């Protein structure tokens, strides 16, 4: 009897232990599920943060739009591979403005009503100015990647995360005014694209320091972006005895201008000075030799962070990036940084977060957003040597 009782007691103990182990396993599993539900969701499981992008992806300026778009795509990939924006993936929605404000307005209306994007990026001053009222009326945020010096002023929901015409113009004016001291017999001429931001750049920022130094343009010749013939304009430059020629435009027009300069035997010989259009002028490198270029300082440097960006861009897209790609990349990274600090993804919080960027360190070096919503960066002076832009040694 005692043996049987002992046996039964042993079986009961084993059963109890089995039951206890089972309860522990169930409890552990339940606790594990509970903990998993408390963990932040991976970026791919959260609703994407969608941002609209309206660039000229066709037409004369498609090379500008494509460069900007690819710079943004690289930023999008870099952001998402590191967890997105507070765990949510970034999704850029691209569409084509064709370089036309009316087309861009239609695209913007669709993005705002259908996609409900809180932010729209645009390129080209005319497109940005055309889209601005639509974006503002829908209480969204507009970020212009264009040089216009005024469109963001008085518009709290509008930002320019791009080099400004005022920055380029002031540096150009200072350089040209400096010729009065170093080369007092200089005769200046300018051939420029007749578009609002360039006209404003010349009148407001380039000419004032020149006039103060007792200088002015002896020849001032505007052209339309559709112009193909420059003979009359170049003849005026030659007949006036111009010793230094400023060319301001988008770059795609420059082959025709340079062809005529060579035909009139002004090249090689006449010193040429320009701005951002010379950062991708589509001109043979032998014709660019000695051209002075005013532009973002990082363009003339070979810092490790810039080299890394260039190498990764080349690997991803199979062509070399220019400053537009870098500016676009940086603008997305800055915007993502602002979104991470936003309490909610809504216009007022986004605006506050972007305005709070007093200094940002990225591939452009140290930049900031001023109190009116414009990007400020260091501007430098470079010169073409054997097809490569290098810092001008003073």
pLDDT of residue 242: 95
- 269 versus 5: the higher-pLDDT residue is 269
Give me 274's structure tokens.
């320009």
Residues 94 and 235 in one domain: no
Q: Name the band, by pLDDT with cuts 50, 70 and 90, for residue 185.
A: confident
Which pLDDT tens digit goes with each residue over 8-34?
A: 454 444 444 444 444 444 444 444 444
pLDDT > 60? residue 109: yes
Q: For the residues 190-198, what does the mean pLDDT come to?
A: 92
- In a domain, residue 11? The reply is no
Domain limits at 112? Answer: 46-164+302-377
∠ CA 206-295-190, rounded to 5°: 40
Q: Which residues of 376-391 are buried (b: 16+ CB within 10 A; e: fewer)?
A: ebebbbbbbeeeebee
pLDDT of residue 14: 42
Is the C-alpha dihedral spanning 319, 145, 344, 115 positive or negative?
A: negative
- In a domain, residue 140? The reply is yes
Q: Percentage of the chain surpassing pLDDT 90?
A: 60
- In a domain, residue 35? The reply is no
Any idea which of 104-108, 137-141, 296-300, 322-326 has the lowest mean pLDDT? Answer: 296-300
Pairing between β-strand 292-296 and β-strand 158-160 as defined by DSSP bridges: unpaired
Number of CB atoms found within 10 A of residue 181's CB: 8
- In a domain, residue 217? The reply is yes
- 38 versus 386: the higher-pLDDT residue is 386
Residues 147 and 280 in one domain: no
Q: In what order do the strands lie in the sheet with 360-362?
A: 360-362, 365-369, 375-376
Q: Name the band, by pLDDT with cuts 50, 70 and 90, for residue 343.
A: low
Do the beta carbons of residue 186 and residue 180 sit within 8 Å? yes
List of residues 6+ apart from 308 with CB closer than 8 A: none
- Separation of alpha carbons 267 and 255, rounded Å: 13
Residues 239 and 193 in one domain: yes
Residues 121 and 194 in one domain: no
Any idea which of 13-17, 249-253, 284-288, 327-331 has the lowest mean pLDDT? Answer: 13-17
- In a domain, residue 30? The reply is no
Q: Name the band, by pLDDT with cuts 50, 70 and 90, for residue 340.
A: confident
Residues 264 and 387 in one domain: yes
Kindly report the CATH number assigned to the domain that includes residue 133.
3.40.50.2300
pLDDT of residue 348: 81
pLDDT of residue 35: 42
Q: For the residues 126-132, what does the mean pLDDT come to?
A: 95
- Separation of alpha carbons 56 and 96, rounded Å: 5
- Separation of alpha carbons 150 and 4, rounded Å: 99
- Separation of alpha carbons 334 and 355, rounded Å: 11
Do the beta carbons of residue 160 and residue 151 sit within 8 Å? yes
What's the number of domains the chain is made of?
Answer: 2
Q: Name the band, by pLDDT with cuts 50, 70 and 90, for residue 209.
A: very high
Q: For the residues 82-96, what does the mean pLDDT come to?
A: 95
List of residues 6+ apart from 128 with CB closer than 8 A: 122, 142, 144, 146, 148, 151
Residues 278 and 355 in one domain: no
- In a domain, residue 32? The reply is no
Q: What is the mean pLDDT of the chain?
A: 86
Residues 330 and 208 in one domain: no
SS3 295: strand
pLDDT of residue 30: 44
Closest to 145 in 3D by CA, of 97, 183, 209: 97
pLDDT > 70? residue 94: yes
- In a domain, residue 119? The reply is yes
Residues 88 and 111 in one domain: yes
pTM above 0.85, yes or no: no
Residues 218 and 245 in one domain: yes
List of residues 6+ apart from 121 with CB closer than 8 A: 51, 52, 53, 54, 55, 72, 143, 144, 145, 331
Phi/psi region, residue 282 (left: phi>0; alpha: psi -120 to 50; beta: rest), is left
- Separation of alpha carbons 200 and 355, rounded Å: 26
Q: In what order do the strands lie in the sheet with 158-160?
A: 90-96, 49-55, 119-123, 141-145, 158-160
Q: For the residues 223-246, what does the mean pLDDT come to?
A: 95
Residues 171 and 160 in one domain: no
Any idea which of 23-27, 87-91, 197-201, 320-324 has the lowest mean pLDDT? Answer: 23-27
Residues 155 and 178 in one domain: no
Residues 333 and 231 in one domain: no
Closest to 363 in 3D by CA, of 313, 329, 322, 314: 329
- In a domain, residue 59? The reply is yes
CA dihedral 87, 90, 91, 96 (to 10 degrees): 170
Q: For the residues 319-338, what does the mean pLDDT come to?
A: 92
């Amino acid at each position: 009897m005692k043996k049987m009782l002992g046996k039964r007691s042993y079986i009961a103990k084993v059963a109890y232990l089995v039951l206890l182990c089972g309860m522990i396993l169930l409890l552990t599993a339940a606790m594990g599920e509970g903990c998993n539900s408390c963990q932040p969701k991976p970026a791919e499981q959260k609703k994407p943060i969608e941002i609209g992008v309206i660039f000229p992806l066709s037409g004369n300026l498609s090379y500008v739009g494509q460069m900007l778009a690819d710079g943004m795509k690289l930023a999008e990939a870099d952001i998402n591979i590191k967890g997105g924006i507070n765990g949510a993936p970034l999704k850029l929605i691209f569409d084509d403005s064709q370089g036309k404000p009316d087309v861009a307005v239609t695209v913007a209306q669709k993005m705002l009503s259908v996609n409900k994007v809180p932010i729209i990026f645009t390129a080209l001053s005319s497109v940005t100015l055309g889209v601005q009222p639509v974006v503002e009326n829908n209480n969204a945020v507009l970020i212009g990647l264009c040089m216009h010096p005024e469109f963001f002023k008085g518009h709290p929901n509008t930002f320019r995360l791009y080099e400004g015409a005022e920055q380029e113009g002031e540096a150009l004016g200072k350089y040209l005014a400096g010729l009065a001291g170093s080369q007092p017999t200089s005769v200046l001429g300018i051939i420029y694209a007749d578009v609002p931001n360039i006209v404003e750049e010349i009148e407001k920022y380039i000419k004032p320091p020149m006039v103060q130094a007792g200088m002015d343009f002896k020849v001032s010749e505007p052209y339309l972006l559709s112009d193909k013939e420059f003979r009359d304009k170049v003849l005026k430059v030659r007949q006036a005895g111009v010793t230094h020629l400023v060319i301001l435009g988008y770059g795609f027009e420059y082959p025709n201008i340079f062809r005529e300069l060579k035909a009139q035997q002004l090249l090689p010989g006449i010193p040429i000075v320009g701005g951002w259009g010379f950062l991708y002028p589509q001109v043979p490198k032998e014709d660019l030799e000695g051209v002075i270029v005013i532009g973002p300082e990082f363009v003339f440097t070979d810092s490790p962070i810039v080299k890394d960006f260039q190498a990764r861009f080349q690997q991803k897209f199979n062509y070399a990036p220019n400053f537009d790609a870098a500016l676009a990349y940086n603008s997305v990274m800055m915007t993502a940084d602002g979104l991470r600090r936003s309490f909610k993804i809504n216009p007022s919080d986004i605006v506050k977060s972007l305005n709070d960027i007093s200094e940002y360190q990225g591939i452009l070096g140290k930049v900031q957003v001023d109190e009116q919503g414009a990007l400020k960066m260091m501007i430098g002076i470079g010169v073409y040597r054997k097809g490569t832009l290098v810092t001008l040694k003073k």
